[in-house]
Amino acid sequence: MEGRIVPVSADTDTDTDTDTGGGELVLVTGGNGYVGTHVISGLLRSGHRVRTTVRSHGRAASAAASVLSAVAASGVDPGGRLDIVGADLTADDGWDDAVAGCTHVLHVASPFPSVQPENEDELIVPARDGTLRVLRAARDHGVRRVVMTSSFAAVGYSPKDGDTYDESDWTDPADDNPPYIRSKTIAELAAWDFVAKEGDGLELTVINPSGIFGPTLGPRLSASTELVKAMLEGTMEAAPRMHFGMVDVRDVADLHLRAMAHPGAAGQRFLAGGERAVSFLWIARVLAEHLGERAARVPTHEVSDEELREAARSDPALREAAGQAAKVPVLRNEKARSAFGWTPRDPVTTILDTAESLFRLGLVKD
């Protein structure tokens, strides 16, 4: 399967009124991921034809099945407009075939670990080199624009005066940050550098989401949905003291589609997040207030700063929370609002829809 376009669209009824031949062909990388499934569903809903990549190391068939299941869960009928191809960020094979014939590429795929690796290159190298592979293939095949999913990690993790952030802010890749934060920063910087020096007219737009929550379309959970699951199951006994921006996964997908189509988005980055920072304790309280007995096990207090620092010494996964405990960031999203008319959902809706999706899929254990 590797390097070969393989149609695996769901069978459709012969009387469907879906136009299987209309719409531009758009490539979405990482199609079986949390954001990728919502992006694919949005593209199909808007009439595009979609090709998506999944990792091809012996798991392409199961990954393809998960993409189709997620699209079905979103209520969209692909109508013969969805193809899946095996391609991996760590190898050149497959990318030329994946990009061929596409007018746009939405580069969503990026490694995100459940725990931070001991060797940071396990994250940095595939994030940076994989991005460059996608950009080279896009340039060589005459793609009009690449919309890249970066992160607030590339925006707000270096010292500055105040805690207000917009698209002009950058994380310094040389700072002593966890590997994931460095990988997102380095990959985005490499993308802008490539387009400036070797892009040959290729347009680049970057989306920088804050913490992404919202309904999952399948059992493969993101780090954020895992946190909500842990709260509901009672395995998070106390909430880390940390404030962060929140954005709904559906709004992130919507912003990708708007950035893909808008002429003025070329060469721009867009911060995606609600301006009001939230905390883990705030999430727990929202769940408790609205879900009653189903949220009986959510944490009711925060870990103290001293406890958090002590835990971070032995648990690298808590290092980021310990470093950000005193910050209450303010994210300015005026650029996306004014450029596209983009309006993010209320965070209460986002959290409740996250929880309801976990219950609906049977992913919260009794």
Q: Which tokens go with 93? A: 């094979």
291 CA to centre of own chain: 26
Strands annotated E in 179-289? 203-209, 211-213, 243-244, 246-248, 269-272, 278-279
Q: Which tokens go with 158? A: 């270096």
Q: Is 184 a catalytic residue?
A: yes
The C-alpha atoms of residue 184 and residue 191 are separated, in whole angstroms, by: 11
Angle between helices 179-198 and 121-140 in degrees, nearest 10: 20
Name residues whose C-beta falls within 8 Å of residue 292's C-beta, 6 or more positions apart in sequence: none
**Is the CB of residue 321 less than 8 Å from the CB of residue 217?**
no
Q: Which tokens go with 137? A: 């293939």
**Is the CB of residue 337 less than 8 Å from the CB of residue 343?**
yes
Among residues 184, 197, 229, 365, the one annotated as catalytic is: 184
Q: How many CA atoms lie within 13 A of 330 on its CB side?
A: 7
Q: What single-letter DSSP state applies at residue 20? A: T
Which are the catalytic amino acids?
Answer: 184
